[in-house]
Amino acid sequence: MDRVIFGDNQFFGVNHLSDEKSRAQAVRFKDDAAIIKVIDDAIDIGLNTFMCTTHERMVNICEHIRKNEEQYKDFKIYPCMPYAHKYANAVTELGILGTLKKFMPDNIMGTISKGSLALVKTDFLAFMEMLVDAEMKTFKGINTPVIFLQNVLVDLILGLGMYDIFRAYHEYIAKKYNAEAGYITMNLPALLDALESVGIENPIICSSINKIGFRMSGGRDVYEVCIKTRKFRPLAMQVLAAGALRPEEAFEYVCEQKNIESVLFGSSTKSHIKQNKELILGYSK
Protein backbone atom coordinates (compact mmCIF):
# COMPACT_ATOMS: atom_id res chain seq x y z
CA MET A 1 0.00 0.00 0.00
CA ASP A 2 1.05 3.60 -0.55
CA ARG A 3 2.30 5.48 2.50
CA VAL A 4 -0.35 8.20 2.06
CA ILE A 5 -3.94 7.41 1.07
CA PHE A 6 -6.67 9.94 0.28
CA GLY A 7 -10.12 9.41 1.80
CA ASP A 8 -13.70 10.42 0.99
CA ASN A 9 -15.44 11.56 4.21
CA GLN A 10 -15.40 15.22 3.22
CA PHE A 11 -17.31 14.48 0.01
CA PHE A 12 -20.34 12.90 1.64
CA GLY A 13 -20.93 15.17 4.61
CA VAL A 14 -19.19 13.06 7.26
CA ASN A 15 -17.73 14.90 10.22
CA HIS A 16 -17.68 13.06 13.52
CA LEU A 17 -17.56 16.19 15.68
CA SER A 18 -19.59 18.84 13.86
CA ASP A 19 -23.01 18.58 12.22
CA GLU A 20 -22.54 22.13 10.92
CA LYS A 21 -19.38 21.15 9.06
CA SER A 22 -21.12 18.05 7.74
CA ARG A 23 -23.91 20.16 6.24
CA ALA A 24 -21.45 22.62 4.72
CA GLN A 25 -19.49 19.80 3.10
CA ALA A 26 -22.66 18.21 1.74
CA VAL A 27 -23.60 21.50 0.06
CA ARG A 28 -20.14 22.09 -1.35
CA PHE A 29 -19.92 18.63 -2.89
CA LYS A 30 -23.50 18.27 -4.10
CA ASP A 31 -22.23 18.16 -7.71
CA ASP A 32 -20.02 15.33 -8.96
CA ALA A 33 -17.71 17.82 -10.68
CA ALA A 34 -16.69 19.22 -7.29
CA ILE A 35 -15.68 15.77 -6.06
CA ILE A 36 -13.77 15.00 -9.25
CA LYS A 37 -11.93 18.33 -8.99
CA VAL A 38 -10.57 17.50 -5.52
CA ILE A 39 -9.63 13.95 -6.57
CA ASP A 40 -7.74 15.42 -9.52
CA ASP A 41 -6.01 17.87 -7.17
CA ALA A 42 -4.88 14.94 -5.00
CA ILE A 43 -3.51 13.15 -8.07
CA ASP A 44 -1.62 16.31 -9.10
CA ILE A 45 0.01 16.29 -5.66
CA GLY A 46 1.04 12.67 -6.10
CA LEU A 47 -1.68 10.75 -4.26
CA ASN A 48 -2.81 7.88 -6.46
CA THR A 49 -4.83 5.79 -4.01
CA PHE A 50 -8.37 6.80 -3.07
CA MET A 51 -10.21 4.95 -0.29
CA CYS A 52 -13.97 5.35 -0.40
CA THR A 53 -17.25 3.89 0.72
CA THR A 54 -19.62 2.39 -1.83
CA HIS A 55 -21.79 5.51 -1.59
CA GLU A 56 -24.22 5.83 -4.51
CA ARG A 57 -22.40 8.98 -5.66
CA MET A 58 -19.41 6.79 -6.53
CA VAL A 59 -21.31 5.36 -9.51
CA ASN A 60 -20.85 8.59 -11.50
CA ILE A 61 -17.31 9.14 -10.22
CA CYS A 62 -16.25 5.68 -11.38
CA GLU A 63 -17.95 6.21 -14.74
CA HIS A 64 -15.90 9.38 -15.19
CA ILE A 65 -12.71 7.45 -14.38
CA ARG A 66 -13.55 4.73 -16.91
CA LYS A 67 -14.25 7.31 -19.62
CA ASN A 68 -10.87 8.98 -18.99
CA GLU A 69 -8.76 5.85 -18.74
CA GLU A 70 -5.47 7.42 -19.76
CA GLN A 71 -5.76 10.24 -17.23
CA TYR A 72 -6.37 7.75 -14.40
CA LYS A 73 -4.10 4.93 -15.57
CA ASP A 74 -2.10 4.91 -12.31
CA PHE A 75 -5.10 5.55 -10.07
CA LYS A 76 -6.28 2.96 -7.54
CA ILE A 77 -9.45 2.77 -5.46
CA TYR A 78 -9.88 0.89 -2.19
CA PRO A 79 -13.65 0.27 -1.92
CA CYS A 80 -15.13 -0.06 1.58
CA MET A 81 -18.36 -2.03 1.84
CA PRO A 82 -21.20 -2.10 2.66
CA TYR A 83 -22.53 1.45 2.80
CA ALA A 84 -25.56 0.66 4.97
CA HIS A 85 -27.45 3.95 4.45
CA LYS A 86 -27.56 3.28 0.71
CA TYR A 87 -29.59 0.11 1.18
CA ALA A 88 -31.85 1.56 3.87
CA ASN A 89 -32.70 4.55 1.67
CA ALA A 90 -33.30 2.33 -1.36
CA VAL A 91 -35.71 0.06 0.52
CA THR A 92 -37.67 3.13 1.63
CA GLU A 93 -37.87 4.49 -1.93
CA LEU A 94 -38.04 1.32 -4.04
CA GLY A 95 -39.17 -1.48 -1.77
CA ILE A 96 -37.29 -4.74 -1.25
CA LEU A 97 -37.67 -6.09 -4.81
CA GLY A 98 -36.75 -2.74 -6.34
CA THR A 99 -33.66 -2.59 -4.16
CA LEU A 100 -32.63 -6.08 -5.27
CA LYS A 101 -33.03 -5.12 -8.93
CA LYS A 102 -31.00 -1.96 -8.42
CA PHE A 103 -28.04 -3.39 -6.52
CA MET A 104 -27.77 -7.10 -7.23
CA PRO A 105 -25.54 -8.47 -10.04
CA ASP A 106 -26.99 -8.62 -13.55
CA ASN A 107 -28.33 -12.19 -13.32
CA ILE A 108 -31.03 -11.16 -10.87
CA MET A 109 -33.00 -14.42 -10.96
CA GLY A 110 -29.87 -16.42 -10.24
CA THR A 111 -29.02 -14.08 -7.41
CA ILE A 112 -32.48 -14.28 -5.90
CA SER A 113 -32.42 -18.07 -6.19
CA LYS A 114 -29.08 -18.16 -4.46
CA GLY A 115 -30.47 -15.90 -1.77
CA SER A 116 -33.52 -18.10 -1.30
CA LEU A 117 -31.32 -21.14 -0.93
CA ALA A 118 -29.23 -19.23 1.56
CA LEU A 119 -32.31 -18.43 3.61
CA VAL A 120 -33.30 -22.09 3.72
CA LYS A 121 -29.83 -23.23 4.70
CA THR A 122 -29.00 -20.21 6.88
CA ASP A 123 -25.99 -19.83 4.61
CA PHE A 124 -24.56 -16.46 5.61
CA LEU A 125 -21.53 -17.04 3.40
CA ALA A 126 -23.71 -17.03 0.28
CA PHE A 127 -25.17 -13.69 1.38
CA MET A 128 -21.65 -12.38 1.87
CA GLU A 129 -20.72 -13.24 -1.71
CA MET A 130 -23.91 -11.62 -3.01
CA LEU A 131 -23.15 -8.46 -1.06
CA VAL A 132 -19.59 -8.23 -2.35
CA ASP A 133 -20.65 -8.79 -5.97
CA ALA A 134 -23.39 -6.18 -5.70
CA GLU A 135 -21.06 -3.56 -4.22
CA MET A 136 -18.26 -4.24 -6.70
CA LYS A 137 -20.47 -3.56 -9.72
CA THR A 138 -19.70 0.14 -9.29
CA PHE A 139 -15.94 -0.43 -9.62
CA LYS A 140 -15.90 -2.67 -12.69
CA GLY A 141 -12.83 -1.98 -14.83
CA ILE A 142 -11.08 0.06 -12.11
CA ASN A 143 -7.94 -1.04 -10.27
CA THR A 144 -9.08 -2.13 -6.79
CA PRO A 145 -6.10 -3.96 -5.22
CA VAL A 146 -7.53 -3.88 -1.68
CA ILE A 147 -11.23 -4.28 -0.86
CA PHE A 148 -12.29 -3.39 2.68
CA LEU A 149 -15.10 -4.67 4.84
CA GLN A 150 -16.64 -1.73 6.73
CA ASN A 151 -16.47 -1.55 10.51
CA VAL A 152 -20.28 -1.62 10.79
CA LEU A 153 -20.12 -5.24 9.58
CA VAL A 154 -16.68 -6.22 10.88
CA ASP A 155 -17.52 -5.24 14.44
CA LEU A 156 -20.94 -6.91 14.20
CA ILE A 157 -19.26 -10.17 13.13
CA LEU A 158 -16.83 -9.75 16.03
CA GLY A 159 -19.69 -9.34 18.45
CA LEU A 160 -21.49 -12.41 17.11
CA GLY A 161 -18.32 -14.50 17.16
CA MET A 162 -18.88 -15.60 13.53
CA TYR A 163 -15.21 -15.49 12.60
CA ASP A 164 -15.51 -17.97 9.74
CA ILE A 165 -17.12 -15.17 7.72
CA PHE A 166 -13.80 -13.33 7.83
CA ARG A 167 -12.01 -16.36 6.38
CA ALA A 168 -14.63 -16.78 3.66
CA TYR A 169 -14.46 -13.09 2.77
CA HIS A 170 -10.67 -13.20 2.66
CA GLU A 171 -10.69 -16.14 0.25
CA TYR A 172 -13.52 -14.80 -1.92
CA ILE A 173 -11.86 -11.42 -2.48
CA ALA A 174 -8.64 -13.15 -3.57
CA LYS A 175 -10.37 -15.66 -5.83
CA LYS A 176 -13.06 -13.50 -7.46
CA TYR A 177 -11.32 -10.11 -7.62
CA ASN A 178 -7.61 -10.96 -7.46
CA ALA A 179 -7.32 -8.48 -4.61
CA GLU A 180 -6.37 -8.38 -0.96
CA ALA A 181 -9.03 -8.25 1.72
CA GLY A 182 -8.94 -5.38 4.19
CA TYR A 183 -10.84 -4.88 7.43
CA ILE A 184 -11.99 -1.66 9.11
CA THR A 185 -12.64 -1.82 12.84
CA MET A 186 -13.14 0.18 15.99
CA ASN A 187 -11.67 -2.69 18.02
CA LEU A 188 -8.21 -3.48 16.69
CA PRO A 189 -7.09 -5.87 19.48
CA ALA A 190 -10.23 -8.03 19.22
CA LEU A 191 -10.09 -8.16 15.42
CA LEU A 192 -6.45 -9.25 15.44
CA ASP A 193 -7.33 -12.14 17.75
CA ALA A 194 -10.33 -13.12 15.61
CA LEU A 195 -8.43 -13.11 12.31
CA GLU A 196 -5.57 -15.06 13.84
CA SER A 197 -8.02 -17.69 15.14
CA VAL A 198 -9.19 -18.49 11.58
CA GLY A 199 -5.70 -18.56 10.08
CA ILE A 200 -5.55 -15.14 8.41
CA GLU A 201 -1.92 -14.05 8.54
CA ASN A 202 -0.55 -10.51 8.28
CA PRO A 203 -3.96 -8.91 7.53
CA ILE A 204 -4.55 -5.36 6.33
CA ILE A 205 -6.44 -3.58 9.11
CA CYS A 206 -7.66 0.01 9.03
CA SER A 207 -8.47 1.44 12.46
CA SER A 208 -8.56 4.71 14.36
CA ILE A 209 -5.05 5.58 15.51
CA ASN A 210 -4.56 9.02 17.03
CA LYS A 211 -2.92 10.85 19.89
CA ILE A 212 -6.04 11.26 22.05
CA GLY A 213 -7.48 7.74 21.71
CA PHE A 214 -10.51 8.87 19.68
CA ARG A 215 -12.55 5.78 18.69
CA MET A 216 -9.80 3.42 19.87
CA SER A 217 -11.58 0.65 21.79
CA GLY A 218 -9.42 -0.41 24.73
CA GLY A 219 -7.38 2.78 24.69
CA ARG A 220 -4.32 4.19 23.00
CA ASP A 221 -1.80 2.18 25.03
CA VAL A 222 -3.31 -1.14 23.97
CA TYR A 223 -3.20 -0.09 20.32
CA GLU A 224 0.43 0.96 20.59
CA VAL A 225 1.36 -2.46 21.96
CA CYS A 226 -0.53 -4.18 19.12
CA ILE A 227 1.19 -2.05 16.49
CA LYS A 228 4.59 -2.73 18.01
CA THR A 229 4.27 -6.47 18.68
CA ARG A 230 1.59 -8.03 16.42
CA LYS A 231 2.08 -9.03 12.79
CA PHE A 232 -0.37 -7.11 10.60
CA ARG A 233 -0.40 -4.24 8.13
CA PRO A 234 -1.86 -1.20 9.92
CA LEU A 235 -3.62 1.59 8.03
CA ALA A 236 -4.26 4.54 10.34
CA MET A 237 -7.52 6.45 9.97
CA GLN A 238 -9.10 9.28 11.99
CA VAL A 239 -5.57 10.44 12.71
CA LEU A 240 -6.79 14.01 13.16
CA ALA A 241 -9.49 12.80 15.60
CA ALA A 242 -12.21 14.49 13.51
CA GLY A 243 -10.41 17.83 13.75
CA ALA A 244 -9.65 17.77 17.47
CA LEU A 245 -5.89 17.64 16.75
CA ARG A 246 -3.68 19.98 14.78
CA PRO A 247 -2.18 18.27 11.70
CA GLU A 248 1.38 18.70 12.99
CA GLU A 249 0.83 16.91 16.30
CA ALA A 250 -1.53 14.37 14.77
CA PHE A 251 0.80 13.21 12.02
CA GLU A 252 3.90 13.39 14.21
CA TYR A 253 2.27 10.99 16.68
CA VAL A 254 1.06 8.47 14.11
CA CYS A 255 4.38 8.44 12.26
CA GLU A 256 6.17 7.66 15.53
CA GLN A 257 4.40 4.27 15.43
CA LYS A 258 7.01 2.79 13.13
CA ASN A 259 5.08 -0.30 11.98
CA ILE A 260 2.14 1.66 10.56
CA GLU A 261 2.22 1.05 6.82
CA SER A 262 -0.21 3.71 5.55
CA VAL A 263 -1.94 6.86 6.75
CA LEU A 264 -5.43 7.83 5.53
CA PHE A 265 -6.84 11.36 5.57
CA GLY A 266 -9.46 13.43 3.80
CA SER A 267 -9.17 17.10 2.86
CA SER A 268 -11.29 19.50 0.86
CA THR A 269 -8.67 21.81 -0.65
CA LYS A 270 -5.51 21.33 -2.65
CA SER A 271 -3.43 23.31 -0.16
CA HIS A 272 -4.54 21.13 2.76
CA ILE A 273 -3.95 17.93 0.79
CA LYS A 274 -0.44 19.10 -0.04
CA GLN A 275 0.26 20.17 3.54
CA ASN A 276 -0.94 16.87 5.02
CA LYS A 277 1.00 14.77 2.53
CA GLU A 278 4.20 16.71 3.23
CA LEU A 279 3.73 16.40 6.99
CA ILE A 280 3.21 12.63 6.80
CA LEU A 281 6.23 12.07 4.56
CA GLY A 282 8.33 14.50 6.60
CA TYR A 283 7.57 12.80 9.93
CA SER A 284 8.09 9.38 8.31
CA LYS A 285 11.80 10.00 7.68
Q: Give per-10-residue mean pLDDT for the chain (285 aa).
A: 96 64 78 96 98 94 98 98 68 61 54 48 71 92 97 92 94 98 97 98 98 96 98 97 94 97 96 98 96
Tell how strand 49-53 and strand 4-7 pair up.
Answer: parallel
In this prediction, residue 93 carries a pLDDT of: 73
Let me know: does 232 contact 207? Beta carbons within 8 Å. no
Domain ranges of the chain: 4-82+144-283
In this prediction, residue 121 carries a pLDDT of: 42
**CA 148 – CA 182 distance, rounded (Å):** 4
Pick the closest to residue 172 from 120, 209, 224, 136 (CA basis): 136
Let me know: does 237 contact 207? Beta carbons within 8 Å. yes
In this prediction, residue 126 carries a pLDDT of: 79
Pick the closest to residue 195 from 228, 212, 170, 160 (CA basis): 170
Pick the closest to residue 235 from 254, 212, 216, 218 (CA basis): 254
In this prediction, residue 27 carries a pLDDT of: 83
Fold of 4-82+144-283: TIM Barrel (3.20.20)
